[in-house]
Structures are given as C-alpha cells and as structure tokens.
Amino acid sequence: MNASEFRRRGKEMVDYVADYLEGIEGRQVFPDVDPGYLRPLIPTTAPQEPETFEAIIEDVEKIIMPGVTHWHSPYFFAYFPTASSYPAMLADMLCGAIGCIGFSWAASPACTELETVMMDWLGKMLQLPEAFLAGEAGEGGGVIQGTASEATLVALLAARTKVTRRLQAASPELTQAAIMEKLVAYASDQVVATLGTTSCCSFDNLLEVGPICHKEGLWLHVDAAYAGSAFICPEFRHLLNGVEFADSFNFNPHKWLLVNFDCSAMWVKRTDLTGAFRLDPVYLRHSHQDSGLITDYRHWQLPLGRRFRSLKMWFVFRMYGVKGLQAYIRKHVQLSHAFEALVRQDTRFEICAEVILGLVCFRLKGSNKLNEALLESINSAKKIHLVPCSLRDRFVLRFAICSRTVELAHVQLAWEHIQEMAATVLRAQGEEKAEIKN
Amino acid sequence: MNASEFRRRGKEMVDYVADYLEGIEGRQVFPDVDPGYLRPLIPTTAPQEPETFEAIIEDVEKIIMPGVTHWHSPYFFAYFPTASSYPAMLADMLCGAIGCIGFSWAASPACTELETVMMDWLGKMLQLPEAFLAGEAGEGGGVIQGTASEATLVALLAARTKVTRRLQAASPELTQAAIMEKLVAYASDQVVATLGTTSCCSFDNLLEVGPICHKEGLWLHVDAAYAGSAFICPEFRHLLNGVEFADSFNFNPHKWLLVNFDCSAMWVKRTDLTGAFRLDPVYLRHSHQDSGLITDYRHWQLPLGRRFRSLKMWFVFRMYGVKGLQAYIRKHVQLSHAFEALVRQDTRFEICAEVILGLVCFRLKGSNKLNEALLESINSAKKIHLVPCSLRDRFVLRFAICSRTVELAHVQLAWEHIQEMAATVLRAQGEEKAEIKN
C-alpha cells in the first residue's frame, strides 16, 4: 500500500470509525458468540499473496464485530470506563505516523519533552504538591506508564531498591536474600493505598495512612486508577488530600479522562525511581544525558520502548479545555446519582456502598443466589452489560457509568430493564418456594 | 468534537500523515533542538476553554516536528528499525475506535480469539514447533506483549514460580527467601539466550545451549527481538534451529515485520506461565473461563489492560502476504550487504562483525578516539543518523537498515557522506599529529 492508496483507505476508515461510533447504540452491547467461534471463520495460515483492503474490511463486519463487546455503547455499564474521544484518536494517528521510540531524549526530543510538560499540566489540574512536578528545576516529575499495574510494580521495585540500599549501608554483612526476607509490603484487601477501588470505589484516608508511612520511613504509593480523573473538579479534590505524604501516585487518564488507552499517569517526588532501572549501553548514550535538563524515560519504566503518548494528552486537554473535562466528569457523576435515586425508589433493592463518583453498587434485598440469577438474566438478555463484585461476601451488581455518549435516557431505560428482569427472577423464586411448600 | 467534525478532521489527518511520510526524506533526520527547547514554547498550564483543531495542528509543525527524530526517514540508520506500514496504521485506527480492553475472553471475545489465531499464523510462518502453537487443542500458544523486556520479565517470573514450587514440594521446610537465594539466572553478556543482539546482531547457538538447559531442568527463554522477523524466510530459518529446546520464545514484529509498535510476539510451550499471574476477582469472572476453549490473556502478562493489537497483525499479514513480508526482509538484508561491500572497498575502514541480517558494524582502522570523532561529525552534520556500540572495548559504528522506504541510492549517499566525514577527521588527526611533531 502506497501513500496514495493510504489517503483513500484512511479516509474510508475514518468514515467507518465515525459510522461505528455513531451507530454503536444499535449494536447489541454483548456478543452472541461461543468460545472458539472465530477460528473456523478464518484460514489456518497467513495468505502467501497480498489480499485487498476491501476483503479485509468486509471481514471486519463479518468476523470481528460479531465477537466484540462494545465498551463504548451507552448500554455498557460494566467494569470501569475506558476512555474514547475523537481528539485522542486523531493524536493516535499522528503518533503512529511519527512512530518514534522515545527511550531517551535523543531518540526523539519532542516525545520526551512534551511528556514532561503534559504531566506537569495534568499534575496542576489535580493540584498535586509542587514536589511531584518537574517544573523548570526538574525535581520530581511525571511519566506515562502503560497501566496502573505497571506503575505499581515500578513503585514497588523502586521502594525495594531504596530500602535495600539503606539496609545494606547500615548492615553490610546482610546478604541480598536476608534483606529480601525482612522486607514487608503493607496492603489493604484492595491493594496499596487506593483511591476509588474497583469493587465499590471506596477510598483510603491518606491523612491517616500518610503520616504513619512518613514516620516509619515507608514508601507510600497511592493508586487512584479510576477516581483520579475526578480530582480535576474542585468538589472532588478533597478525596486526594494527604497525597503530600505519598512517594508516588498514579491514575489512569485512559479510564475517565478521554485519553484513549494506554495512558497511565504516574508521578514521583524524587528521582529515587531511576536507580532501579538504570540501563546505559553505548548505543543509547547521548551527549545531553547528564545535563540535568532532560529525562531519559527508559529509567522510569520496565520496557525500553515507548510511544509518543503525550500527543493524546495534548490534543485532548486542548480540544476539551479543563472546563470541558470537568463537565464530562460531572455529567457522569450526576448520572450515577440519578441511577442511585431510581434504585432507592424501589424498596425491593438496596444500595450497597456510598455513591461518590460514577459507580453504583446495588442488589436485590435477598440471597446471593437471587442476585446471581438477576445478573445472569440481565447479561443473557444482552440489552445492557454489567459485572458483579463481592462486598463482605455479598454478591453485588455494579452499575458503572462508562460511555462518553451515555445520557439520562439510557440510564432510565437500563433501570426499567433491570426492574423487569428483577420481576422475572422474583416471580421464579416465588414459584420455586411455592413448589417446595407444596 | 462530534462525529461529523471527526470525519472532516480525520481525513485532514490522513492527508497530514501521508504528506509527512511522503515528504520525510526532505526533513532533517535528527533535530536541531537543545534540551529544554519545548517548555518555553507552550503554556505552563492546560487551557480552561477548548481550542480549535487548527491551532493544534499548526503547533504540531511549529513545536513538535522541530524536535522529532525521524525514525522513518530513509537516512535513519540508528538503533534498530521500528515498524511502520499503512495497513498497520489503518488497523490501529480501528483498534482505537473499538477501544475494548481485552483482559478476559468475555471482555471482548474477538480480541482474545483473533490474537490466538494470529499468533498461530505467525508461529507457522516461523515454522515454530507444534508445542508452541495453540491449534485446536489449546496446548501452548502465543501472546502479544508490549515489548521484549516485558516478555523476558514474564518468562523470568514464570520460570521462578515453576522452580519455587518444585523446590517447595521437594523440601517443604525451606522458606521462600531461602529458595530465592538458591535461584540462579544464567545469562551471557548480551542477556538471556539471544538471536540477533542489539550491539552487533550476533547469535547464540541454541543447539548447544538448548540440550544443556533441557538436561538440567532449566527454563530456556530465547529472545530474537530484532532478528526474529527474518526467520519467515527459509534461508534464515536455520538461525532459529534449537528453538525446540526452549520453554519460551519471543521477537518483535514491531521492529522488522511492518506491524507498528507495540507488538512483541511471545510463545510458551506449556501453561506454566499462567500460574504466576493468576488474578480472578469476581468482576472479571465469566462463564466460559474454565472451558479450556479460550484464553484469558490477563494471566499471560503483567498489566491487566490490553488493546486489540492482533488487528494490526491481521491487516499487515493479509495486505502484504507472506511473500510480500519475505521480500521486505530480503531487500533490507541485500541493502546491508551492499553497504558492507562499499565499506570493504575502502581500505581505511574495517567490518567488525559478520553481517548476517540488516546491521553492519564498522569503523575506521585506528583509535576509539578517531571513531568517536567520526561519529560525532556524522551526527552533527545530521544528514544521516547512526549510533555506536562497544565490541570488545572497541568503539564501533552501527549502520542499521531501518526505514521501510530506504533504497540503494540512500545507502550509497550515506556511504559517500561517511567517507567525506572520515576524510575530514583523518585530516584533522593528521594535522594534530604534525603539530605534535613540530
């Protein structure tokens, strides 16, 4: 495919993408396929000769789409949102074309420098303490990781390196293994200090945890993967109070801040981080690496390679503006409260955790079995899609506001549908009980 | 931005991308900027109000492009190639639109199933042993990782889990730390068993290493990050002989197989892998997870989230065909031999490692200082871009065939330029010697 065919096919693909997202409401949110559906539909080996673009795009509708769970459907209320916005997609096209691998400043200066500045922009939106920002001086700073798991692992390895060095300095007779045996990582039942857990979006109180970590010389990593985006709104910022005690902090703009996956934002206070990953072969050295002016991000992450992901942040932040992003967060929170209000009006149901952001945990008053049957009937009907969670051994349904295009009408339709399904499972339960009685 | 504006802006971006890549030869391959160039060019905080797309795309040319190292310029001969092709870019647009997170089969069945089948396609192109393929039965199989670093870490953790369990079963009295202290990871000076090292593209002989690992019960991970793509050509497949002794194998189609970053292909023989990463909270469970028919890829990798990356493989394999991909590899290898022949004709130079694939290691006969001066003058002129390596304490220049669009004429021009630069540094050296003499 040459540039001129790409011009043509690229524009067709732009229309396909726009058609897909404009029409997504008409597609069944959860697919009908059974495991192994795809293999028989495509050849067992790659073709020897080139095929046409037409043949491939036809197969997208015939083979791929029937097996897609439509995460951006306004009837998708499962897991947590994954971001999707047009500005991010445009930036991703540019990112793909530039196609640089930003492991060092020299490998593409713009890639490194825009990342540093975008992480400062975002840090300021969140009102992070100065110590987390790169600023002019270059103390502390942010880095884009692929996922929150990677950010947590990076924080853990950095913490381990730091404490190992401290212990080795204090007791040179200790072996590496003896030190390892002494190390303790403290975590709650939802892992590391978390703001907005996956199960029920609960919050650890950093003002309680933070001072203890500080006093005991513990590395405090704070994960706000989902909830972090909300902290750009002043009315939710208090949930982040105490972050000044943290050594590292991260959240995922790729969840709720309209920056398409992957973009997990991580900040560290000091450059303790880089010691754990330092990699300096001759072929990666460049003349500015020790200037103190720039960041070689390969020392800040597990992989060597990295894409130009800050372009997505730049496009999204500028095309929405902070006010646009705040409005987006607020709309989702309003919709979750609207759903909460609907649930509270129906005495057959109960709300299972305080609704703070965009997640509502609810269930039918009654047994786990009853609620499992409810979820099963909802997800079998495939009009909407939900997943459950377990809260203190109770089987609970999660209703997460996810799609960029979800409106009050979708939430109301979803609730009516849930009520219908509930009536059916309650009737079935009633009949079962009656049978047992007879 | 709504769908209709995206249709317009998306098409403009397609043209921008095509213009950029068609005109890339006219851009200086390595930028002129100094560290810290970008920060003064953009505001210190994100805008409150939305900005226009025009304003952003103007800034791309004004602020971003002057700081980009153009990895896809035909005058870029540094590091190793990073893949770039139009079919992969089209697939990436679709991937962004679908925007599903494929951590489990249920999260998007097509995402999981296409990955399994594409990894089989690719495994067959490489003539990997059956034990690495998923096939109908689902024994063994492939997974797309982000980078070779991640694949290596996954292999290492899986190996550690496996041996720890074996030792704990044999000696239940041993603590975790005591076991850790006993573990040994064997590596050469280029890390794990490597086919095609970064410095000079050298190859470990798996037929020697493999049987020893097999006999001693060691986990053998084989990394062919760059070179792996070449094994789709029968004439290079012998370099992979012995892979049948490996427990895990990976290479990066995102380097040399026209699948844009990120796409690191990893295969494992058995499902030993999944035990190390098993994560099964209620909200990720689905009814088919224990069917044996499908793969929940979150157990095969460090992150939870993952994009629909197999679409890129599908588009590229189909639009090039195996023959097209082979032709692409062969052209690059021919160009590196053409460059090698030019170097050998000039008695001032020497070739420093056997040229097997697309990398030529060469230097001026003389001191490291002389060659450092040569590289410095080449990279200061910025007509072409190279990086060095160190081979047995000798400073060596690497000439890697990288760009998809590089032709013999570019290689010849590059060589003439290197010769000119060499003449200058040799003259300077001569004058310096004469001065010392006087």
Question: Could you write out the DSSP letters of every residue in A104-162?
Answer: STTT-HHHHHHHHHHHHHHHHHTT--GGG--TTTT-SEEEEES-HHHHHHHHHHHHHHH
* pLDDT tens-place string over residues A387-419: 999 999 999 999 999 999 999 999 999 999 999
CB contact under 8 A, B3 and A11: no
Judge contact between B243 and B222, C-beta under 8 A: yes
- Angle, CA A314 vertex, CA B150 and CA A138 arms, to 5°: 70
CB contact under 8 A, A177 and B175: no
Q: A268 has which bridge partners?
A: A141, A248
Residues 208-237 of chain A whose Cβ lies under 8 A from any Cβ of chain B: none
Distances (CA, A) of B183 to A103, B87, B160, B162, B163: 31, 45, 8, 11, 8
- Angle, CA A11 vertex, CA A7 and CA A16 arms, to 5°: 145
Q: How far apart are the C-alpha atoms of B225 and A58, rounded to whole Å?
A: 33
CB contact under 8 A, A99 and B84: yes
Q: How far apart are the C-alpha atoms of B128 and B139, rounded to whole Å?
A: 14
Judge contact between B49 and A321, C-beta under 8 A: yes
Over residues A195-200, mean pLDDT: 86
Over residues B313-323, mean pLDDT: 98
Residues of chain B with Cβ-Cβ distance to A116 below 8 Å are: 39
CB contact under 8 A, B108 and A67: yes
Closest partner residue to A71 (CB to CB) among B22, B100, B114 is B100
Q: Is the pLDDT of residue A177 over 80?
A: no
How many Cβ pairs within 8 Å bridge chains A and B?
410
* pLDDT tens-place string over residues A199-213: 888 999 999 999 999
Any B CB within 8 A of A10 CB: yes
Please confirm whether the linkage preceding B262 is cis (ω < 30° from 0).
yes
| pLDDT at residue A286, rounded to an integer | 77
Q: How far apart are the first and last CA of chain B?
A: 73
Any A CB within 8 A of B383 CB: no
Distances (CA, A) of B94 to A100, A194, B89, B256, B395: 21, 33, 9, 22, 45
* pLDDT tens-place string over residues A243-295: 999 999 999 999 999 999 999 999 998 655 666 656 677 777 877 776 666 67
* pLDDT tens-place string over residues B346-377: 999 999 999 999 999 999 999 999 999 999 99
Work out the pLDDT band at B279, boundaries 50, 70, 90: low
What values do phi and psi take at A248, rounded to 5? -145, 155
CB contact under 8 A, A389 and B288: no
Q: How far apart are the C-alpha atoms of B146 and B328, rounded to whole Å?
A: 23
Mutate to test the interface with B, among A4, A6, A119 (most CBs of B within 10 A): A6
| pLDDT at residue B242, rounded to an integer | 94
Q: How far apart are the C-alpha atoms of B80 and A429, rounded to whole Å?
A: 64
CB contact under 8 A, A146 and B1: no
Comparing C-alpha atoms, which of B78, B76, B67, B62 is closest to residue B32?
B67
| pLDDT at residue A156, rounded to an integer | 87
ipTM: 0.94
Q: Which helix (H) or strand (E) holds A4?
A: helix A3-22
Q: Is the pLDDT of residue B325 over 90?
A: yes
What values do phi and psi take at A244, rounded to 5? -65, -20
Any B CB within 8 A of A412 CB: no
**And the tokens for A211?**
């001072």
Q: How far apart are the C-alpha atoms of A220 and A246, rounded to whole Å?
A: 5
Please confirm whether the linkage preceding B296 is cis (ω < 30° from 0).
no
Over residues B215-237, mean pLDDT: 94
Q: How far apart are the C-alpha atoms of B403 and B409, rounded to whole Å?
A: 13
| pLDDT at residue B414, rounded to an integer | 98
Neighbours of A244 (CB within 10 A): 17
Of A19-33, A202-216, B297-311, the least confident = B297-311
Judge contact between A186 and A218, C-beta under 8 A: yes
Distances (CA, A) of B297 to B71, B132, B221, B248, B416: 31, 16, 19, 16, 50
Over residues A332-355, mean pLDDT: 98
* pLDDT tens-place string over residues A123-156: 999 999 999 999 876 667 899 999 988 898 888 8
Any A CB within 8 A of B177 CB: yes
Maximum CA extent, chain A: 87
Total length of chain A: 438
Residues of chain A with Cβ-Cβ distance to B322 below 8 Å are: 46-48
Closest partner residue to A50 (CB to CB) among B176, B260, B324 is B324
CB contact under 8 A, A79 and B146: no
What values do phi and psi take at A390, rounded to 5? -115, 120
Q: How far apart are the C-alpha atoms of A103 and A273, rounded to whole Å?
A: 16
Comparing C-alpha atoms, which of A403, A418, A412, A407 is closest to residue A79?
A403
Query: Residues 6 or more apart from B11 whose CB is under 8 A from it?
Result: A10, A11, A14
Residues of chain A with Cβ-Cβ distance to B68 below 8 Å are: 98, 100, 108-111
CB contact under 8 A, B93 and A90: no
Comparing C-alpha atoms, which of B33, B268, B23 is closest to residue B156?
B268
**And the tokens for B135?**
């096939």
Pairing of strands B193-194, B141-145: unpaired
| pLDDT at residue A279, rounded to an integer | 63
Mutate to test the interface with A, among B21, B25, B69, B184 (most CBs of A within 10 A): B69
CB contact under 8 A, A282 and B388: yes
Of A284-293, B115-124, B236-245, B297-306, the least confident = A284-293
Alpha helix stretches (DSSP H) within A290-367: 310-345
Residues 127-146 of chain A whose Cβ lies under 8 A from any Cβ of chain B: 136, 146
Q: How far apart are the C-alpha atoms of B379 and B20, rounded to whole Å?
A: 22
Work out the pLDDT band at B292, boundaries 50, 70, 90: low
CB contact under 8 A, B99 and A198: no
Q: How far apart are the C-alpha atoms of A298 and A296, rounded to whole Å?
A: 6
| pLDDT at residue A292, rounded to an integer | 64
Over residues B266-270, mean pLDDT: 85
Radius of gyration of chain B (CA): 25
B420 versus B170: the higher-pLDDT residue is: B420
* pLDDT tens-place string over residues A372-392: 999 999 999 999 999 999 999
Comparing C-alpha atoms, which of B419, B374, B380, B416 is closest to residue B397?
B374
CB contact under 8 A, B47 and A322: yes
B113 versus B180: the higher-pLDDT residue is: B113
pTM of the model: 0.95
What values do phi and psi take at B245, rounded to 5? -85, -10
Query: Residues 6 or more apart from A45 whose CB is under 8 A from it?
Result: B121, B124, B125
Query: Residues 6 or more apart from A211 whose CB is under 8 A from it?
Result: A245
Q: Three-class SS of residue B317? A: helix
* pLDDT tens-place string over residues B159-170: 888 888 888 888
Chain centroid to CA A202: 16
**And the tokens for B78?**
């540094």
Rounded to the nearest angstrom, the minimum Cα separation between B298 and chain A is: 11
Comparing C-alpha atoms, which of B330, B402, B408, B307 is closest to residue B84?
B402
Work out the pLDDT band at A113, boundaries 50, 70, 90: very high
Maximum CA extent, chain B: 87
Q: Three-class SS of residue B396? A: strand
**And the tokens for B39?**
């920060």
Q: Which helix (H) or strand (E) holds A223?
A: strand A221-223
